[in-house]
Structure 1
Amino acid sequence: MKKLNIGNIDLNLFVVFEAIYRERSITRAASLLSLSQPAVSHALARLRDRLDDVLFVRRGHDMVPTPRARELIGPVREALHGLQGCLAGMGGFEPAQARRTFVLGLRSGLEAYILPQLMQVVTREAPGVDVQTLSVSRRDLPSTLLAGRLDLAIDVQLPVDSRIGQQHLMDAPLSLVMRADHPLAAKQVLTLGDYLGARHVLVSSRRRGPGLEDFGLAQAGHHRTIALRCQHHQSAMATLTTTDLLLTLPRMLALQQPPPGLVVRELPLALPPLSLYLYWHQEHSADPALAWLRSRMPVMPRR
């Protein structure tokens, strides 16, 4: 392997490297960087020569990173974020003139609530800013933030170390959804017996384990029957239209344009709300662009 010296490498090559890694495409990387495709290809060729590694292998329509590229991406992103934060801090952040892409760690169930409100503000205040979302497992979320693959993330309260900043974003009360002609729908007030006697849908990305509402039920000495475990709220609500299953979910999602034929009811017992937190890498706390974005996040669910 060649002996490298940072003084002999054009640091812009790493900007191109990160864009190709993110987009898995030279064409999309060129568009992201506002460069021509030949310019990006030339930059990649130069970096391949400097690092003595092909870095990406074409597989179908994708540019797949080599082991060496996967080894490099974390430190490269960390360095680029640090430099970007330093420069941003020197020049401030002007949303109206900004040209930047923010990457958010956001679960699919929250996208329908967070993104419409967030993008309304971003489009009005910072029309040159783009937003991308990634779904990251809770186990990997801290390491993904530290590696620079995410700018911000929204999730439930997680055990994170001091390198991860966090801020309470909102508490979302839980509600119950069922089809309009469900045997229980005629009741405006359900009993605990009604709830526990029914069969339920649990939305979870995990293969096993209780949901948030099940922890609350267990603390009160109750247990419900899970008939279906699926990954997305939209799938769960679509299933409600053809079954007698019940779905417990945050009220803000229950009211987010559910499929026709469904009704929302109050839970017959008090369960803890879904508490959502905003997470970021502490080293980027001084970045005024990220401070602006954090301040524009929705903080209260709509009633």
Structure 2
Amino acid sequence: MNINSIDLNLFLVFQAIYATRSVTLAGDRLGMTQSAVSNALKRMRERFNDALFVRSADGMVPTPVAERLVAPIEEGIACLMQAVDQGRTFEPETTNRIFRIAVNDIGQLVMMPELLSVARGIAPGVRFETVDVSVADARQRMLHGQIDIALGSWEPMGPAFYQQRLFDETFVVLMSKASRLGSRERIELGDYLAAEHIAYRPHGTTDTQLQQTLDRAGALDQRRVVLTAAHSLGLSAIVAASGLLLTVPARLAKAMVASRGDLHAVDAPFEVAPFEIRQQWHERFHRDSGNRWLRELVFGLFHERSRRTPEAQGAEGAGSEPLRTDPA
């Protein structure tokens, strides 16, 4: 197949359909009508002699041929985008760029409101899209330019990635002020174990941190769990209306308390080792001016000096400079 005979815009349509699993949503992302996207898909099917995407109850499902094509197409688009940006300064005042951030629902609730507010004040046309993916998926998408940065308590992603500490997080216990324990400023481990709980089990490493913390405290299998929840949506209302305890990251609890006056948070009744919240990005986009603007904005908004011992701070370095996962 002669590359000169192919409209390269078709690859953008391919990528959008693959990412959204929808002709309509692909059109919204590209600023095209549904009929224009359908026509582009028809042309691609003719070029590759394959259906590429098959309509199903789950949306437009890629065929095996499409699955083989997606990686080189996305890498090619990422290279072209990087080439276009070379030598061009990112201009926040006039940009309409979409930044895609890998973050779980904790980060979306805690970090995105402030980031969006400040970013839109500087760059009125900037847009954001959050995605909740596995570490492996985040690595691949950042490699291909589909995700700009990852925010959270992610483990280091590998030697091709930079990482930068933002702040240390811990866990607290959230409860209703009207509950039996709601008027206390601290609770004992015995009261904690005697109470009924919500087990918040989000996707990602935050849940792993909590499970390890509870295990070290001997509380993992001792809690009386009434509700196990995968998402934070609605949890504050459930806590407020019940006597259930919810153990969550401190900043998530702070956001929940700020939104309602009938909630109260106290320190966990067991030792909690602080864990780092970082931003990470792929080396291919380290010098990309737009990516750099986003990273600097995130760092400026959320970086806090470590409250750990001087020895621990020394082990992590200055804490303000981005480090390669592989220091060598």
TM tier, shorter chain?
Answer: 0.7 to 0.9
Structure-2 separation of matches of 1:30 and 1:213: 41
The equivalent of 2:97 in structure 1 is 100
The equivalent of 2:223 in structure 1 is 225
- Match of 1:119, SS state, is helix
Deviations 1:203-236 (A, max 9, x none): 11469x9742342344455554151321122343
Structure 1 segment 264-279 matched on structure 2, within 5 A:
264-279=265-280
Structure 1 segment 79-158 matched on structure 2, within 5 A:
79-158=76-155
Paired AA for residue 6 in structure 2 = I
Structure-2 separation of matches of 1:74 and 1:175: 42
The equivalent of 1:286 in structure 2 is 287
State the aligned residue count: 297
The equivalent of 1:43 in structure 2 is 40
Structure-2 separation of matches of 1:284 and 1:55: 30
Do 1:201 and 1:229's aligned partners in 2 also have CA atoms closer than 8 Å? yes
Do 1:171 and 1:300's aligned partners in 2 also have CA atoms closer than 8 Å? no
Structure-1 separation of matches of 2:124 and 2:253: 30
Is 2:253 aligned against 1:254?
yes
More off after superposition, 105-114 vs 38-47: 38-47
Structure-1 separation of matches of 2:255 and 2:246: 14
The verdict on how the C-alpha distance between 1:226 and 1:46 changes in structure 2, with shifts beyond 3 A counting, is same
**Pick aligned residue for 2:21 from 12, 19, 24:** 24
Structure-1 separation of matches of 2:109 and 2:207: 24
Structure-2 separation of matches of 1:104 and 1:240: 29
Is 2:239 aligned against 1:240?
yes
- Match of 1:188, SS state, is coil
Structure-2 separation of matches of 1:61 and 1:191: 48
**Structure 2: 5+ residue stretches without partners:** 305-328
Do 1:25 and 1:61's aligned partners in 2 also have CA atoms closer than 8 Å? no
Do 1:201 and 1:245's aligned partners in 2 also have CA atoms closer than 8 Å? yes
The verdict on how the C-alpha distance between 1:211 and 1:36 changes in structure 2, with shifts beyond 3 A counting, is closer
Is 2:190 aligned against 1:162?
no
Structure-2 separation of matches of 1:210 and 1:44: 41
Paired AA for residue 79 in structure 1 = G
The verdict on how the C-alpha distance between 1:60 and 1:248 changes in structure 2, with shifts beyond 3 A counting, is closer
